Amino acid sequence: MFISEWQKGLQGYQEVKRLGGAGDRGRDVIGLCDANGCQGIWDNFQCKHYEVPLSAPLACEDAGKTIYHAFKGEFVPPRRYTYVAPRGPTTELRDMLLNPTKFKDAVLSTWATRVAKRVVAGEVHELEGALAAYAAGYDFTTFTYVTLDEILDDHRRTAYWASRFNGHLPPPPKGKVPQSVAPNETVYVARLLEVYEEQTGIPIKCTDDLLPFLDCAEDLQKQRVRFYDAEAFTAHYRDQTEPGTIEDFAEQIYDAIEPALASETAAQKRLSAALTVSAQTSPANVLSSQAKVRVRQGVCHQLANIHRIKWKA
């Protein structure tokens, strides 16, 4: 699963599949680049869960299986064949993979002992005839390896890192508030103007109408800061978390403030209740540890902006 997450998050494949198990023909995790599957362009990630470094004999056996099945036409040779092992390859295997000619010589010269009886259970496939010619012409530069450190560095940039490693996310940036109200703010700002209209008893139809009311104008600016912090938070984590994580975070805040809204009728009290409750809410979500008070309060305005809530009952 971990290797599948790593590939899904980084490589831009059309599809990533886990095939590990009996009958997988040496394919644990595969990345498909087009609609032709393993008859098109694809990469293979061979996962070896050993407590010791992956040895040359085992790597030669797996390479031989792939060569045989490609020879039989069960798939075209993978564009890249990557060995993935927690302890990495042995020094011997590493040197072979970095020198494809050496790896080719090792696979072909030991085929009889390492490969022939292990390609298909109960069968023996000697390296002779057409198979020998095919193996001799196979592109051994496609075989490579990856270290655990490289995988972790890559996985950290995927949407799966947070849930896999208990929410260890980088902090979000602060929001950047434009001087004038932007088109994407019109709905929630209109909801706030209704609050100020109720407070002042004067019709408030646009932000310019707040000029005589300094307290209301300052409050609007504070609410805009909250909104933009929430927007920056959402944008920052959307690609760093699994699909639905951002939406779940907002939905839990909505679930927390909805009862508070139902108990109030005045617009100002409804707004205050929502801001107070959201500030105290800690959603059961990997984003909670990075969500400061202003972000959680800003989610209230995001909800208002998509017509989920309003302050004037």
What is the distance between the alpha carbons of residues 174 and 179, in angstroms, rounded to a whole number?
16
Alpha-carbon distance of 50 to 31, in angstroms, equals 23
Domain assignment present for residue 175? The answer is no
Residue 52's pLDDT is what?
84
Residues 52 and 141 in one domain: yes
User: Could you tell me how many residues make up the chain?
Assistant: 313
294 found inside a domain: yes
Domain boundary pick from 158, 173, 204: 158
Same domain flag for 129 and 190: no
Residue whose tokens read 């030991």? 110
| Residue 46 sits in the same domain as residue 135 | yes
Measured distance CA(271)–CA(274) in Å, rounded: 5
Same domain? 11 vs 144: yes
Phi (first) and psi of residue 36, to 5 degrees: -85, 5
Provide the domain limits for residue 35: 2-158
Q: How far apart are CA 121 and CA 101, in angstroms?
A: 29
pLDDT of residue 67: 96
Sequential pLDDT tens for the chain (313 residues) = 444 454 455 556 788 888 866 667 878 888 898 899 999 999 998 887 677 889 999 999 999 999 999 999 999 999 999 998 878 899 999 999 999 999 999 999 999 999 999 998 889 999 999 999 999 999 999 999 987 666 655 555 555 555 555 556 678 899 999 999 999 999 999 999 999 999 999 999 999 999 999 999 999 999 999 999 999 999 988 877 778 889 999 999 999 999 999 999 999 999 999 999 999 999 998 888 889 999 999 999 999 999 999 999 8
88 and 199 in a common domain:
no
Q: What is the pLDDT of residue 3?
A: 46
* Domain total of the chain: 2
| Contact assessment for residue 299 and residue 253, using Cβ atoms and an 8 Å cutoff | yes
Conformation bin of residue 23: beta by default, left when phi > 0, alpha when psi is -120 to 50: left
195 and 298 assigned to the same domain: yes
pLDDT at 10: 52
Same domain, 150 and 266: no
- The rounded Cα 15 to chain-centroid distance in angstroms is 14
Residue 167 forms part of a structural domain = no
**DSSP string for 242-269:** -TTHHHHHHHHHHHHHHHHHHT--SHHH
Residues 148 and 24 in one domain: yes
Is residue 169 a part of any domain in this protein?
Answer: no
Decide if 174 is inside a domain.
Answer: no
Question: What SS3 class is residue 73?
Answer: coil
Domain presence at residue 178? no
Q: In whole angstroms, how far apart are CA 219 and each of 189, 214, 294? A: 11, 9, 13
Predicted confidence at residue 226, as pLDDT, reads 98
User: Are 78 and 201 part of one and the same domain?
Assistant: no
Q: What pLDDT is attached to residue 188?
A: 98
Pair (207, 296) in one structural domain: yes
For residue 247, count CB atoms less than 10 angstroms from its CB and return exposed for 0-12, middle for 13-18, buried for 19 or more.
Answer: exposed
Specify if 42 maps to a domain: yes
Is 311 a domain residue? no
